[in-house]
Amino acid sequence: MFYRITIFLSILTLSVIFLTGCGDVEAVQVSDDGTIDIVLDEWNITPKNIKVKKGQTVTFNVKNEGETNHNYTIQTLKGTSNIARRGVSEKLIVTFEKTRKYKVHCSIKGHAAKGQVGQIIVEE
């Protein structure tokens, strides 16, 4: 019995090391129609990282699937979805004019620190 638990814990530890060791999460390319679904929960933004083409107008369909309130804020741009309650969706439409990276987060106090962060990468 103890042996079995030890094996289980070893596999669990290896999985955690593997998953966290991967570091940067692959960025999801926004499709040509410019729409992307964003899911918020405790304490994630999914997909975390997004790639956008320069000049592209993107419609973010932001859905809160968490237990508490969340929003989707693009830092340094005037892009913030309304604070959404559980089960509520908000649309956020933004045109990306410059090639650069934008940090995104949930602007509710303490949520970014718990991991509700991500990135938008604007490319040529």
Name the residue number minimizing CB distance to Cu ion. Answer: 106
Question: Which secondary structure element, helix H or strand E, spans residue 7, and what is its range?
Answer: helix 2-21
- Of positions 45, 106, 120, 122, contacts Cu ion by CB under 5 A: 106
Angstrom CA distances, 29 to 77, 97, 104, stand at 20, 17, 16
Q: Which is nearer to Cu ion, 53 or 83 (CB)?
A: 83
Q: Which is nearer to Cu ion, 36 or 39 (CB)?
A: 39
- Residue 77 CA to residue 120 CA, distance in Å, equals 11
- Contact status, residue 19 vs residue 26, Cβ threshold 8 Å: no
Does the protein bind Cu ion through residue 111 (CB under 5 A)? Answer: yes
User: What track of x and - describes contact with Cu ion for positions 25 through 64 (by CB under 5 A)?
Assistant: ----------------------------------------
